[in-house]
Structure 1
Amino acid sequence: MITITGLSASYDAVDVLHAVDITANDGELTVILGANGSGKSTLFKAMSGVLRPTAGQVEFNGEDITRSSPAGIVKKGLAHCPEGRHLFPQMSVEKNLMLGAYVRRGDKKRVKALLERSYELFPILHEKRKQAAGSLSGGQQQMVAIGRSLMSDPTMLILDEPSMGLAPLITQQVFDTIVEINKEGIGVLLAEQNANSALQIATSGYVLAEGRVVLSGTAKELQNDPRVQRAYLGV
């Protein structure tokens, strides 16, 4: 579904990504592991058009999207749920969700179905749909952020650190929902520091360090790799 070849990116002429190669297959859940500053968020921004790569290519469903606009990429079916949620705190939960459907606004029937599906995945959001998003707990705000991304009707969802700052019980609920989304046929590319939980639900994965891919394999292979165990699993 998505193939990244030789992708490099920088901020203010400082190189952050260095010739990264990654493949995420149709319908699979692929995890990107790495410490803070390893380049995970930069990778996702370059994939979704928020940051222009300095070299390399991003191909989605056989089409080169490297130079496409963020809105154009969303229209093609690739949605990015960024680190930090980036909600509009004074707007209601439902209005925040509806913002994710701007590329589908011509199909009111489909948008209504997508909104209903978001409420099915996160029933608490239906209960609080008229409340200001900023009044919700951190876990509920993360649910809004994921739901907003799903409102664009993606075939692949990029999730950047969805468990950040969440209590263990809420983290598990979020991960259970990610699995459910993936089972519906939506491919998931998940960046996480919570390596143990991420590898338990993933199909395959990559490890980034200082902007480079240093390890890759199936989730089971990474779980059993002594380097991953020492660095991320506390073994």
Structure 2
Amino acid sequence: MVNVLDEDPEVRVLVLTGEGGKSFSTGYDLKEAAQAEKKSVEEWSNYVRANHHFTECVWNCSKPVIAMIDGYCLAGALEFAQMCDLRYCSEDSQFGVVETRFSTGITTMIMPWIVGARCREMIYTGDLVDVEEALRLGLVNRVYPKAELHDEVMKIAKRMAQVSMQCLKWNKRSLNGVAMAQGMNAAMEQGMHACTLMNASVSPEFQKFDEIRRSEGLKAALAWREEQFRQYE
């Protein structure tokens, strides 16, 4: 869809959001993962690259892309949102690199390019952060009351749309070019390689989680996983 809109001369700015007002997205489907067969390193590599290809579609779009976030923005969804040009959110949004707590890798290691070295705490702990912390870190650009989010973001998008298409495209190309000149592509490759190896290996923590998930169900596995962190929250 992004590619189609990128080629549409009537579209100057893209605004992406989730449905229902409960979340932008909570990331990958744990129920689906529970039913999946184990993958080889090659199969994991193909899977990781396919996911990365999806997240980078907004980065490669020649036009500005805005993530309008309302509610949870977790795991792969957070990676996708960070690949957008701008992120605006409602006051009850939450963010987290929660895949860390499930011993799985980060497909698109974009966070160091968005918030710098401060990303280490989010990645190492898997903690959820609220909008105040997200704004402090530079993870989001602005925060709005839930009822005002849509209208305020659309005002910004429409202001952008008054700028000439040539100016929008060339400025985005220049900004992306700076990141690539600083080595972003090589860093992404390293991230995908690490993610592949992490997902193909089996940690004791993931093994226990998966055992409970398959025998007692996802709800029981999630409860066990959260209990490991609760006493230190």
Q: Structure 1 length as normaliser, TM-score?
A: 0.25
**Larger % of helix: which?**
2
Q: Structure 2 length as normaliser, TM-score?
A: 0.25
**Larger % of strand: which?**
1
| Higher relative contact order (Cα pairs below 8 Å, separated by 6+ residues) | 1
**Highest CA radius of gyration, 1 or 2?**
2
